[in-house]
Amino acid sequence: MKWTVTPIICAVLAITVYQYGARFLQETYKSKDVKFEIESVFLESWTDYRENGWGYDVYGPVSKKGKNMGRSGDPLGWIIVDSIDTMMIMYNKSSDEDHRKQFAAEIQLAEEWVDNTLNYDIDSEVNVFETTIRMLGGLLSAYHCSETYKVGNSTVYLNKAIDLGDRLASSFTQSATGIPYSSINLGSGKAIKNHVDNGASSTAEFTTLQMEMKYLSYITGNSSYWTLSEAVYEPIYKNNNVLGRHYQGLVPIYTNPDTGMFQGSTIRFGSRGDSFYEYLLKQNLLTGESLYRKLYNFSMKGMKRHLLDKSRGNLALTYIGEKEYGLAGPTSSKFDHLVCFMGGLLAMGATDGKPYTEAISSPDWDPTKQSDWDLAQQITKSCYEMYRQIPSGLSPEIVVFNSNYPVYEDNWWVSETKDYFVKPLDRHNIQRPETVESLMFLYHLSGEEKYRHWGYEIFKSFVKHTKVVDEDTETSAYTSLHDVISIPTNKADNMESFWLAETLKYLYLLFDDEVDLTKIVFNTEAHPFPVFDQKRLDELNLTTGWKP
């Protein structure tokens, strides 16, 4: 790294400018009906999709064209199913009668499509993980929201969830270890190995199916979903000695599904690693199973020991690095936006969803929980800076924090505080939710207004820089970006389903005053499930069936 020594006055000036900017934000959201604004953006996006891409799994807001993902050409419900619970939540919480009527009509339209058009008996290979978290999770959450908010016909969603769950569940039965191959043909039931990476399954993918499968068992009383999905853990923990010195609770991102042995040595909390850790904690929060809390705590201890670092810029931002060559190798400061979920996860792990002021008074509060709480705030601050310092106010897909590895190159964009860089191929934004997700959790757990200020700032940047306006119809839509640094932004032609399912939902809940995080647990696609009742678990004999 070829950096000259930064004078103290420059650091002081940067901090002063930052503090002034924070004070300037005081005039932002309090004078506005932010929930109404977010509802309006959702309805603009949804209406554009309904009018121009209805039923398609993939949609381009610029071209106004869509397509389905499967080779059969049949729809999977990728956008519709992923979005239904967001509409139900907004319908229930909106204070605007016109919006409530519109949400009610759109929910009815989507429900009729799910009931009459959506059919999973199709000759299409689908990714087990993505289909589980988006489609199965979306259907189960729609069932829950329909029952809770008394909107729609909950039976439609449950019946479709059972049908899809049965098709996905067969993926657990076709390898010697019970670890699913990466894909399955929904029609034939044949599981298919990953076409690349020597057939390896992504470690995060097959360990991010359990919330959905366990909730399906909890609703239906059929324990097979629970039993099959939890069985993936024993081979990886025992065959690799995950709790031993070599891994210390941190897992490589690929696993051979036939042997249960890890493949390669890359360890990270970004893609293919992230939700492994997320579902350890969330299974405990959802089901009360104590084993997963112990495993989560052990992994967090390993993360803090081996992956945690601070940038060498003016703000000394905290980040979770990557180990490309195992724990003994150097720590890379590459940081996926995906990792920004960790702020919310650590905060929930520390407090169990209770407000911080209440959690610290509980008998089990200890220095580890305080450390996790502090780290949650630090990582969320780092992720916010990935927005604040970018010209468009929107984060790139990946940043590299200023450290000794990797070495800065001249064509990398440099942040104003010199805390991070952006490589030329990482300047895109696909409407990801992880930062606003953590802001939502941190606000409701801490009560600190700054998280709402930051969230509103990000929301306005999305509105300003991702909106596309049809000059003929004067209608608006929102799309991904090729480049967040060049102004005006270079727009891509794709609306991710998680823009509707996650990003706008988490922004909306950030500004809602009635969110009880002890009663619901969000899956990794932001689909809320109710915390399980222990009496029903006992009646169904649903318990942890393995030991590491």
Annotated binding site for Ca(2+): 524
Residue 397 a catalytic site member: yes
Q: E strands of 168-261, at which residues? A: 183-185, 191-192, 201-202, 254-255
* Cα separation of the two ends of the chain: 43
- Euclidean distance between CA atoms 311 and 319, whole angstroms: 8
Residue 471 a catalytic site member: no
- Binding-site residues: 524
**Of 278, 309, 372, 397, catalytic:** 397
Strand 481-483 and strand 467-470: the pairing is: unpaired
Residue 434 a catalytic site member: yes
- Euclidean distance between CA atoms 354 and 151, whole angstroms: 28
**Of 111, 212, 274, 385, catalytic:** 274
- Euclidean distance between CA atoms 28 and 139, whole angstroms: 36
Closest CA to 48 of 499, 430, 476: 476
- For residue 265, report the phi and psi dihedrals to the nearest 5 degrees: -130, 10
SS3 49: helix
CB 299 within 8 Å of CB 277:
yes
Residue 96 a catalytic site member: no
Kindly tell me the burial class for residue 444, based on how many C-beta atoms sit within 10 Å of its own C-beta (0-12, 13-18, 19 or more): buried
* H or E, element range at 420: strand 420-422
Amino acid of residue 524: T
CA dihedral 160, 162, 168, 169 (to 10 degrees): 180
**Of 111, 289, 322, 434, catalytic:** 434
**Of 57, 82, 125, 130, catalytic:** 130
Helices (H), 241-360: 274-287, 290-306, 342-351, 356-359
- Euclidean distance between CA atoms 395 and 127, whole angstroms: 27
Retrieve residue 208's tokens.
Answer: 């991010």
Q: How many residues does the chain have?
A: 548
C-alpha radius of gyration, the chain, whole number: 23
List active site positions. Answer: 130, 274, 397, 434
